[in-house]
Structure 1
Amino acid sequence: MEAIKVLAKILTNILTALYEPFGFSLLLSFFAMFFYLYAYEPSAAGKGWKNAIVTWYQKFKESVFFRKLFLLTFVTSMILFRTLLNRNLWLNPLSDVMGGWGIWETKNGEQVLITECIENVIMMVPFSAVVMWTFGEKIGNGWKKILWYSGKIAFIFSISIEMLQLLLRLGTFQLSDIFYNTVGGVLGGLLYCVAMKVRKRL
């Protein structure tokens, strides 16, 4: 029963985390890719908003890298919404630096189910996998190299988020978040390796 309870809460939290920022992240990614076009396709995208939209559509239709970058922007914005953009202000972000390691916490003498550690792992898996998928040609095909880069990228991204939470007082700074996010990043790299091997065999 406890396992079912944990899984149900994790599933509910994940679906909520996906549902709430979906429209915002999609719109943000759409506009973010306009900046990419203005940087790399100024001759086509910089001739009015109609030409910009046509160029965006053509680029999305023709360029695999553009679609990968759009998906990466979407996943990143979903994570930022969850960790920074939709957080309440905290009086003391350092109030629980060593917390968040387990799934049970004692509050007012009662055991309360906390699934943030598992969610932190799951959250970084798609991010790391999409990063590897987007820049896989530059990183290489060696699984050790992929796992190293996926863990390092997730670690740096996680520290950046935690430092911003600390500076902006959005949420609490926790070492467990960095650890679990890094684990999720490595798992994302592993998922990418498995997907590439399956793709080659097919």
Structure 2
Amino acid sequence: MRKETKKKVRILGAVLFFLYLLALTYFLFFAEGYGRSVEGRMYAYNLQPFREIKRFWIHREMLGTFAVFCNLAGNVIGFIPFGMILPVIWPKTGKVLRILLLSFEFSLCVETIQLVWKVGSFDVDDLILNTLGGVIGYLLFWICNKIRRKIYG
């Protein structure tokens, strides 16, 4: 890829990453439809791995498809752009282990802020699902990058 094209792709990636972070911030901290109200909230947390995932799966019929999808798939899908765009704008992150660690660290920051501000809850299952989403995003980036290199050399 030519230098000018690389620069344009990185700039576009940075703009998309910024927009992604804005949308993520809204959904994780301010979207009242997802239980993000601060009033009258107590500290809520889950430190037992797979407890909430199991609970949502067992009670999926009672909770409804939307709630289960938002909690389980939403946490994964929400971090796919993180794993896809970050290697474009910051090439040194172009390893799956680095993306795994960065996804985990970013998710840990988000969960900690949710706990401290009492918006949502600190959930170790969210850490697992968010990290999985970041890794899936990176794998999608990696596959697309391999295809691009085969087509364009």
Structures share fold, TM-score greater than 0.5: yes
Whether 1:133 aligns to 2:91 is: no
Q: Secondary structure at the match of 2:62?
A: strand
- State the shift of 1:119 in Å: 1.2
Q: What's the TM-score, normalizing by structure 2?
A: 0.76
* Correspondence for 1:94: 44
Change (3 A) 1:153 1:95: closer
Cα contact 1:68–1:130 (8 A) shared by 2: yes
TM-score, scaled to structure 1? 0.59
Partner of 1:194: 143
Displacement of 1:63 after TM fit? 4.1
1:112 aligned residue (54, 63, 75): 63
Question: What's 1:72 paired with?
Answer: 17
Q: Which moved more, 1:86-95 or 1:118-127?
A: 86-95
Q: What are structure 1's unaligned runs of at least 5 residues?
A: 1-61, 141-145
Tell me, in whole angstroms, the C-alpha distance in 1 between the residues paired with 2:93 and 2:127: 23
Query: CA–CA distance in 1 between the matches of 2:8 and 2:57?
Result: 46
Shift of 1:95: 5.2
Which amino acid in the other structure matches residue 94 of structure 1?
A: A
> Structure 2 residue aligned with 1:178, among 102, 108, 127?
127
| Residue deviations 1:44-72 (CA, integer Å, cap 9, x gap) | xxxxxxxxxxxxxxxxxx84432221111
How far did residue 106 of structure 1 move? 4.1
Native 8 Å contact 1:106 1:112 kept in 2: yes
By relative contact order (CA 8 Å, sep 6+), the higher-ranking structure is 2
Task: Please give the alpha-carbon distance, in whole angstroms, between the structure 2 residues aligned to 1:106 and 1:127.
Answer: 30
Instruction: Tell me how far apart the structure 1 counterparts of residues 59 and 8 of structure 2 sit (CA, whole Å).
Output: 52
* Structural RMSD (CA): 2.2
Gaps of 5+ in 2: 1-6
Shift of 1:126: 1.3
Q: Secondary structure of 2:37's match?
A: coil
Structure index of larger Rg: 1
- Does the CA-based 8 Å contact 1:120-1:181 persist in structure 2? yes
Q: Which moved more, 1:178-187 or 1:90-99?
A: 90-99
Q: Percent identity?
A: 23
